[in-house]
Amino acid sequence: MTKANLNFAELPFSFIPTDYNIRYTFKDGVWDKGVLTQDQTLPMHISATCLHYGQQVFEGLKVYERPDGQAQVFRIDQNSKRMNRGADKILMQQVPEELFIEAVFRVVNANRKFIPPHDAGGAAMYVRPILLGTGVQLGVSPSTEYTFIVFVSPVGPYYKSGFAPVHLIVEEEVDRAAALGVGDIKVAGNYAAGMRATMGAKKKGFSEVLYLDSRHKKYLDESGSSNFFGVTGDNRYVTPSSPSILPSITNMSVQQIAKDKGLAVEPRLVAVEELADFVEAGCCGTAAVISPVGSVTHRDKKFEYCKGETVGPIVTDLYKTLSGIQFGVIEDPYGWTRIVPEGV
């Protein structure tokens, strides 16, 4: 297949238009059959619940081109499950897993020429499913109508610098999510809540913030759009666990890989003082896979986890293994990847 006329090796991590997106509507108790459209705008009622009351959940996953030219997705079932957990929590209609997967396959097939070639420096096709309450309500109550959209965009690596250290600052003035709120689901409001923290950190020269738990301000939570982990000198992979962290599919996968490489894996409460115990650290998420953390600044202390630009051996190995599986370079012993069948 002829690829689109794009400089795939230099793609930014930003929206690039493709030919089609796909939309399904839930009305009168049933999902329709979905329609591919070239329209990139979305007309909706001004009183839709997603606009006023935040009935919105979304997902993010990637399609990777394997060395043999086939396209594959990574743990798509987990994205579907996480979106449905979110839908349940804010009283939205779930999208059946088969429909979620069908939607992704259909829209990927309609835009195949935009899948970055295997050797384009880590570029991939980003897939963004969105579920919206589109029924009309004025009082605060759940919608009876929903729209499920999936669009795609070819993307380059999340950080321009690629696999190079990022620098974090512990955020003490802003909470991204309440302890018993909705931090554990992927709803738009969490990102709006955190934007001022991230922008503030960037102004100070940091890449991102590292949030503390909102109740005690004592334990590490996560970063703005990724989970955090540290590796200790005695080979323990320590990652914060709390009800306000979004369960990262990347982190879940890295934990499995770390275990299989002989590290002790500890998802648990991690006190901020434990930053001093780590010899390496990383942030994980679909966009960046693993971003090596060069340093974390907490008040007047700076904890360093890379020697200059040199990333530690464990973070490097975990990154290479996971991205090798995602791009089909390393055999997938876990059954995490799935070829996108043509003709769906």
Ligand X SMILES: Cc1ncc(COP(=O)(O)O)c(C=O)c1O
Closest CB to ligand X among residues 167, 186: 186
145 vs 175, beta carbon nearer ligand X: 175
Site string for ligand X, 49-88 (x = CB under 6 A): -----------x----------------------------
Helix 76-89 vs helix 97-110: angle between axes, to the nearest 10 degrees? 120
Residue 153, exposed/middle/buried by CB under 10 A (0-12, 13-18, 19+)?
Answer: middle
The tokens for 161 are 């610098």
Give the N- to C-terminal CA distance of the chain in Å, as an integer.
16
Check: CB of residue 140 under 8 Å from CB of residue 86.
no
Task: Say if strands 166-171 and 289-298 run parallel, antiparallel, or are unpaired.
Answer: parallel
Closer to ligand X by Cβ: residue 301 or 334: 334
- 320 catalytic residue (yes or no): no
**CB nearer to ligand X: pick between 242 and 295:** 242
Cross-strand pairs, 280 = 231
Min dist CB 227 to ligand X, Å, is 5
Find the binding residues for ligand X in span 211-270 (CB under 6 A). Answer: 222, 225-227, 246, 248-251
**Could you give the CA distance from residue 130 to residue 187 in angstroms, rounded to a whole number?**
10
Site string for ligand X, 283-312 (x = CB under 6 A): -xxx--------------------------
Task: Choose, from 62, 89, 186, 218, the residue flagged as catalytic.
Answer: 186
169: contact with ligand X by CB under 6 A: no
When asked if residue 175 is in the footprint of ligand X (CB under 6 A), the reply is no
CA distance 242 to 267: 9
Strand partners, 278: 232
Catalytic sites, residue numbers: 186
Q: Which residues bind ligand X (CB under 6 A)?
A: 60, 222, 225-227, 246, 248-251, 284-286
